[in-house]
Amino acid sequence: MSMFKDQINQENLPKHVAVIMDGNGRWAKKIGKARIFGHRNGVKAVRETTEAAAELGIKHLTLYAFSTENWNRPKLEVNALMMLLVDTLKKEIETLNKNNIKLHAIGDLTKLPKKTYKALMDGMENTKNNTRMTLHLALNYSSRWEIIEATKKIAVLAQAGKIDPNNIDEQEYDKHLATAGIPDPELLIRTSGERRLSNYLLYQLAYTELYFTDNYWPEFRKDDFYKALIDFQMRERRFGMTGDQVS
């Protein structure tokens, strides 16, 4: 039993937690290993975080697994990451099904290597009837890509006379985002001490609470997730109002 888990108020859980899994490379370097060793060890943290979120009753968990900018890394690392993804997807599907977790992906997926794309589609297909939680993987994802894509789709509809530009509101815009129908994250966690968003969910994070920890991603465990939630629950979310109004 976890001392931290006991401190979580079940009545005030986020519906959606987003995570920037960062620090795999630095963690590996610290112990004299190659960067890919860090990525491989990050899988355990993914497993723990997914399990912890599902056990608590969180409905959506979105993990930043590969950004559009990550293509600029050395080819060797990119290839290794894509292979690790295929491997992990294949291995973890059984566990996802056992835990009643649905897999979903956001990003420019068609540009992924064929094998990665296929493993992803298979994983989504094989878990589509699960209902406890959805695990969203952001893959070849960037927020600006997503926002521009949404804008293009809306412009096409407007040009075809199917939508009146005067009627474009947040509700309409949301329909065209990769996260359509998913509530905005109430909490964002970033590991490794970096304090930036790196092109992640910029639109959706408008009112999200940000939580930063110095731990590297491969070290991240259930208790670290619980600590982030406890911190989240101590905050007063005001949405532009005064403290008196919301308390």
Residue ranges that bind ligand IPE, judged by CB under 6 A: 20-26, 64-67, 69-70, 81, 192, 194, 196, 198, 217
What is the x/- site pattern for Mg ion, positions 146-165, by CB under 5 A?
--------------------
Least spacing, CB of residue 43 vs ligand IPE, in Å: 11
| Set 6, 9, 12, 22: catalytic member | 22
**DSSP characters over the chain:** --TTGGG--GGG--SEEEEE---HHHHHHHTT--HHHHHHHHHHHHHHHHHHHHHHT-SEEEEEEEEGGGGGS-HHHHHHHHHHHHHHHHHHHHHHHHTTEEEEEES-GGGS-HHHHHHHHHHHHHTTT--SEEEEEEEEE-HHHHHHHHHHHHHHHHHTTSS-GGG--HHHHHHTSTTTTSPPPSEEEE-TT----TTSSTTTTTTPEEEE-SS-GGG--HHHHHHHHHHHHTS---TTS-HHHH-
Question: Cα–Cα–Cα angle for 208, 183, 168, nearest 5°?
Answer: 95
Q: How far is the CB of 191 from ligand IPE (least distance, A)?
A: 8
Question: From the CB of 199, what's the least distance to ligand IPE, in Å?
Answer: 8
Which one, 8 or 82, has the nearer CB to ligand IPE?
A: 82
In the bound state, the residue with its beta carbon closest to ligand IPE is: 25
Residue nearest to Mg ion (CB): 22
Least distance from ligand IPE to the Cβ atom of residue 45, Å = 10
Please identify which of the residues 6, 12, 24, 70 carries the catalytic annotation: 70
Nearest CB to ligand IPE, comparing residues 30 and 128: 30
Asked if 28 interacts with Mg ion (CB under 5 A), we say no
Q: Is 70 a catalytic residue?
A: yes
CB 15 within 8 A of CB 183: yes
Using the rule CB under 5 A, is 22 a contact of Mg ion?
yes
Stretch that binds Mg ion, among 16-24, 85-93, 116-124, 136-144 (CB under 5 A): 16-24
Q: Which lies closer to ligand IPE via its Cβ, residue 53 or residue 82?
A: 82
Q: State yes or no: is 223 an active-site residue.
A: no
The residues that touch Mg ion, with contacts defined as CB under 5 A, are 22
